[in-house]
Structure 1
Amino acid sequence: MKKELSIIIVNYNKYQLTQKCIKSVISNINNIEYEIIVVDNCSTTIISYTQLINKNKNNKNVRVLKTIQNKGFGYGNNEGVKASKYENILLLNPDVEVLGDSIEKMLDRILSDNNIGVIGCKLLNEDLTLQYSCRRFIPLTKFLLARTPLKRLASNKVINKINSQYLMLDYDHIEEKEVDWLMGSCLMLRKKDFNEVKGFSKEYFMYFEDVDLSYKLKKAGKKILYYPQASMIHLHEQESTKKINKLTYFHFISMYKFYKKFVLN
């Protein structure tokens, strides 16, 4: 079977990170016919877009698109999927570095089982320690206490117990496992499944798009698969959980929209 893959990377004012991500894909992808679609999500610094164009203009496998306005992370990915030509899709954050043959391993695994709705690899921090990227759905009250600045209202014992459940600390992260949801930094899925659940939901500007997508695929009877046999580095920042700022605002708004939409108890 011919292996084909469209790789979508959404850029917003992060030319250097995005270009590093592109380079890591090209350096580590083998035995796959592929395209890389970079969606510049209306970067406020025009140089970010023009540098991506200039740097990749001679690479036939790389296309750089530009949205007419920034409607959020999910919107940018949706536009990339619309422009893609292959059935298999890899959604990559620009702050991800591909390691070894991880892309091929993920593609082989999803092609082996039509019931897989989305597959995510093991994500590592920059120091190669494990990043907890597969998670459980938890009630709203628990999420507020453990994953937002409201954590100051709870004891460490309560927070640790909730985080253990939420981050699946009871799981060794060695064997593949069906999970509730996967962090959106590196997700592989079929375009058919993505379109059937209408892609990333439009109501989120930032945060919870990945939770929502996993939930919709799970409701459609698909597997959400954590696949640690493949791994990548993710320069993950958790600014929205540490202090009150603009990111906290987006996190709260998206969280409210998700829980209101699906009413998890």
Structure 2
Amino acid sequence: MIPASPSDSSPSLRIVTVNWNAGNLLRECVDSLAGALTGGFRLESMTIVDNASQDGSAVGLETIATGLPLTVVANTENRGFAAACNQGAAGSKADWLLFLNPDTRLSANSLTPVFSFLADPSSNRIGALDVQLLDETGRTQRCCARRPSPGRLVAQAIGLDSVMPSLFPPHFMIEWDHKDTRDVDQAMGAFLMIRRSLFQDLGGFDERFFVYFDDVDLCLRVRQANWRVVHFAGATAYHKGGGTTDQVRATRLFYGWRSRLLFTAKHHGALALLAVTLATLFMEPLARLAQAVLRRRPQDAMGVLGGVARLWADMPHLLPRLMRGHG
């Protein structure tokens, strides 16, 4: 563990980054770590969990993080984001865990201000938080989100949140500039800090979510345990957005739809699950196909067809899990 100050009482942090073919983005993320160690906390380690990448992105990272406590865990198969996060957090004794996407970069304004904020007695019920995420132009990304109710999930599936946002507020809080600190339903999973003890009490990420909705589910359980989830505007980090899932449109749609159904089954009743399933299996794919045709974007149409074909093929396996989820 590297101390950032002479005091052994400083809070400690483990950073967990899950990698899947992130290319140079991962190296830039690791390279940015040294500049973020500006005091106020101790770094237990940065743990990279590589989910069987084929691009060599996790090879040779030790040469970038010279002198830093870096651990690389190489999985022989893609275990999914949630399972890999739990794997990276296992065995930690740190006070806080930071789940950090590989398409992020830290700076001197990323971590030290967070720990100064958490040291205030008014922050003692904060269980999880994120920070301002900035894009290439320095613009703040509007990425905190609302709790997905059944109505909101259906509205999102059929596009009502896009055409009538005043009646059907979208999942992401895009009407808010994210430049003030406030409690939120969901913090952004690209930079998600959580108390390690709370994370363990909650059983970590729910590994039923291969990717997507894992952070939504975790933040909901943090709030259900009477802890606060906060967007802290006093610290910043760079976030590219899209990340490695930009490479695989059909796969992204499949896992997004699949996780939506699993989330609905877990947190809502049978009627809600029926409504969201019908919207996801039928209404949203048709709406996306129509949009792709109108915009003359055949690649988008092929992505939709590929994603919905995978979802239908997975339904015999997925349906029993959905039934157990709402029971």
TM-score range, shorter chain: 0.7 to 0.9
| Aligned position for 2:155 | 145
Corresponding residue for 1:252? 257
Query: Within the alignment, does 1:193 sit opposite 2:193 as a pair?
Result: no
Three-state SS of the structure 2 residue aligned to 1:38 is strand
C-alpha distance in 2 between matches for 1:51 and 1:14: 14
Question: Which amino acid counterpart does residue 257 of structure 1 have in structure 2?
Answer: L
**2:69 matches 1:64:** no
Partner of 1:2: 10
Aligned in 2, Cα 1:80/1:71: closer, same or farther, shift over 3 Å? Answer: same
Cα shift at 1:25 = 1.7
**Count of matched residue positions in the alignment of Structure 1 and Structure 2:** 257
TM-score with structure 2 setting the length: 0.71
TM-score, scaled to structure 1: 0.86
Aligned residue number for residue 14 of structure 1:
22
Aligned to 1:203: 208
List per-residue Cα deviations over 1:182-232 (Å, max 9, x = no partner).
120001111100011111101000100000000011000000001011111
Partner residue of 1:225? 230
- Whole-Å separation in 1 of the counterparts to 2:30 and 2:161: 43
Determine helix, strand or coil for the equivalent of 1:14: coil
Q: Which residues in structure 2 correspond to 1:107-126 (within 5 Å)?
A: 107-112=115-120, 113-126=123-136
Bigger drift between 24-33 and 202-211 goes to 24-33
Relative contact order, higher structure (CA 8 A, sep 6+): 1
Matched, 1:162 2:168: yes
1:52-104 Cα shifts (integer Å, max 9, x gaps): 35544x43421212234322111111111114342211110000112332211
Structure 2: distance between partners of 1:170 and 1:50: 41
Distance apart, 1:106 and its partner CA: 1.4
> What do the CA deviations read for 1:123-149 (whole angstroms, capped 9, x no partner)?
122222221121111433433433x5x
Q: Give the drift of 1:173.
A: 2.3
Q: Does 1:96 align with 2:101?
A: no
Aligned residues of 2:128 and 2:219 also touching (Cα < 8 A): yes
Q: Could you tell me how far 1:21 is from its partner in structure 2?
A: 0.6
For residues 31 and 185 of structure 2, the distance between their equivalents in structure 1, rounded to whole angstroms, comes to 31
- Please say if 1:133 is aligned against 2:143: yes
Shift in CA distance, 22/140, structure 1 to aligned 2, threshold 3 Å: same
Where structure 2 has 5 or more consecutive residues not aligned to the other structure, the ranges are 1-8, 273-327
What's the secondary structure of 1:50's corresponding residue?
Answer: coil
Larger proportion of strand? 1
Larger radius of gyration: 2
Q: Are the counterparts in 1 of residues 48 and 71 from structure 2 also a CA contact under 8 Å?
A: yes
Is the Cα–Cα contact under 8 Å of residues 110 and 119 in structure 1 kept in the other structure? Answer: no
Determine whether 1:38 maps to 2:48.
yes
- Aligned partner of 2:307 in structure 1 is none
- Mark the CA change 1:23 to 1:161 in structure 2 (over 3 Å): closer, same or farther: farther
> Partner of 1:49 in structure 2?
58
The one-letter amino acid of 1:189's match is I
Between stretches 250-259 and 3-12, larger displacement belongs to 3-12
CA–CA distance in 1 between the matches of 2:223 and 2:90? 22
Cα deviation, 1:149-175, whole Å, max 9, x if unaligned, reads x42xx4854146534x53334544232
After TM superposition, which residue ranges in structure 1, 4 or more long, deviate above 4 angstroms?
53-56, 238-241
Partners of 1:92 and 1:156 in 2: how far apart?
A: 29
Instruction: Identify unmatched segments of 5+ residues in structure 1.
Output: none
